Amino acid sequence: MTVDKKPSGTLVAAIGEIEPGKSRKFRMKRGNRELEAFLVNYQGNHFAFINRCPHTGIALDFVDNLFFSSDERYVMCATHGAVFEPPTGECIWGPCVGLSLQSCPVEIADGQIYARLPGSD
């Protein structure tokens, strides 16, 4: 007998719903606290991060769901222009070089994309 394991985390989107070079904000709960995060589709791969710049702790986006640079190669902080690598969240240019966005584990199951808070494994 096979028991299907229910995916853990927050349902963010269905596969194909967020096109490459696009992103989506979502919220996750830890106890009584709600955290804002975002999912990016970078070249067909999905990565999720807490929506806080490691430089100042503010949200990265000025416009909802807009996290990519105009060429869709990097995640950017709209406030100070910090540039982050989408697969790792590492800052490669700007005031927080060498620091990284807080990554959220992503799981794909049954055509759906789920994200979990860091450390909630």
pLDDT in tens, the chain (121 residues): 444 567 789 999 999 999 999 999 999 988 888 999 999 999 999 999 999 999 999 999 988 889 999 999 999 999 999 999 999 999 999 999 999 999 999 999 999 999 999 876 5
Residue 117's pLDDT is 92
Helix, strand, coil % over all residues of the chain, rounded to 5: 0, 40, 60
The pLDDT of residue 110: 94
CA atoms within 13 A on the CB side of 101: 34
> How far is residue 89's CA from residue 75's CA, in Å, rounded to a whole number?
8
- How far apart (Å, rounded) are the C-alpha atoms in residues 40 and 46? 6
Domains of the chain: 10-115 (2.102.10.10)
